[in-house]
Amino acid sequence: MNKNDLKPAVVFAEFAKINEIPRPSKREEKMIEYLKSWGESHNLDTKVDETGNVIIRKPATKGMENCKTVILQSHMDMVCDKLVDVEFDFDKDAIKTYVDGEWLTAEGTTLGADDGIGCAIELAILASDDIQHGPIECVFTRDEETGLSGAEGMKAGFMTGDYLINLDSEDEGEIFVSCAGGRNTTAKFTFQRQQAAEGSFFMKAQLKGLVGGHSGDDINKKRANAIKILARFLYQEMNRYEGIQLAQFHSGKLHNAIPRDGQFVIAVPHDVKENVKADWNVFAAEVEDEFHVTDTQMVWSMESTDAEPVIDPAVAKNFVWAVQAVDNGIYAICQDEELGGMVETSSNIASIHSTENAIEILSSQRSNVMSNLDNMCATIRAAFQLAGAEATSGDGYPAWKMKANSELQKIVRESYVKLFGKEPVVRGIHAGLECGLFSERYPQLDMVSFGPTLRYVHTPDERLLIPTVQMVWDHLLDVLKNIPQK
């Protein structure tokens, strides 16, 4: 298979154009202008709200004018991550894609299928003149990945439809009917640097090659977190030997990604440097064995490095102890039987970076139960506050609760069974979807979410399973054809 054979061709043609447009979160101006121009050039009612969300309306085909209005919704921004040795400017460069078997992926960067493929499906429907549908509103929100600020800023009345189909899911054959709410918690240790003890030997340790992934959808897959692993080694060594001092700690980039790599710089007494190197090798083997299924490409290194001022030893100890102690991963499983053992509450330590006088920590908490989200955030804050850090939690976004007796869910499920001869999986998702915010602003909306299969989103390994795009396309067109009258 090559790129010229991708089906449906109209969807992949739109996706290729989208991937030529820089669209990092919070910097989607070029994409907004593209969508606005696209809608106007097709003589469709096109509007941009004050937040930067775009809506393009398409009238019903003949005979379906009295059907309920369907909103198709996706987000225009993308997570921007790349391999460390790849030169790429996400503000200027086009994503370079290639076909790998049945998968479409990118050359050393995130693919942007989350949620560029949803945007492409919407544009393909707007461009098509051979499909049946009632009135359609195609909505493209901005800044979903770093805080859902596009959906947060959307005012009531911007959308006017009866049903909403979110195209930001990552498992074909699964229909999502609820999602987790989320908040970020930050912590900050401040200090004055000082000179390392006389005779210290400086060492830089690096870990890379972890799988990483989405901090919501992949939190239950027992993937390694680079921050927790590096802090674990530091905790072990600082308990084992006197006089180890921390100079730097860096790991992670994004609040919604499991960190894939990281490094620290330490000063150690000269007489234990060989012991530390030996411990590192033993530790690496033990951790690789722990994650022998999920993370098979770990790369470990430790080498000497230049001397530099170190972090106040008391602060460094408190920092390492706190990161060792803080909750990370699954905290609770949903009690509702219809949600099938889905993760209810979790936390991900997402990034830590040291500066001249501070260590800054970013973490992400998620839950389908808002009281337990508050509890999880308090648990994370308390761990860092006990260690002497300043810690705060943001406002976050709400959960989307499953709607009882959903008309749209019934239509979507029956369509799937008719087309593919099997039952879809109807469930909630632990990741955050903009449906949670829509449910607050538009409480009357009947919503579902589905999409083609994606893997390793939010990482440079992101890939799209090509045949599932055709399946989603066929499914969506059949749903649109069977929307009831008002």
Q: 149-153, 289-293, 340-344, 465-469: lowest mean pLDDT where?
A: 340-344
Nearest CA to 188 out of 377, 380, 385 is that of: 385
210 — pLDDT class (breaks 50, 70, 90): very high
Q: How far apart are alpha carbons 12 and 117 in whole angstroms?
A: 8
pLDDT digits (tens, 9 = 90+) for 160-196: 999 999 999 999 999 999 889 999 999 999 999 999 9
Tell me the pairing of strands 358-367 and 390-393. unpaired
Residue 216: per-residue pLDDT: 87
Calculate the dihedral angle through the C-alpha atoms of 472, 473, 479, 482, rounding to the nearest 10 degrees.
Answer: -150
Q: What is the pTM of this model?
A: 0.77
Instruction: Please list the active-site residues.
Output: 77, 144
Per residue in 58-90, pLDDT (tens digit) is 999 999 999 999 999 999 999 999 998 899 999
Lowest mean pLDDT among 12-26, 46-60, 119-133, 427-441: 427-441
User: Residue 422 pLDDT > 80, yes or no?
Assistant: yes
Peptide bond connecting 24 to the previous residue in cis, omega within 30 degrees of 0: no
The residue-averaged pLDDT of 467-477 equals: 98
| Of residues 168, 165, 174, 234, the one with CA closest to residue 205 | 234
- Round to whole Å and give the CA distance between 180 and 376: 13
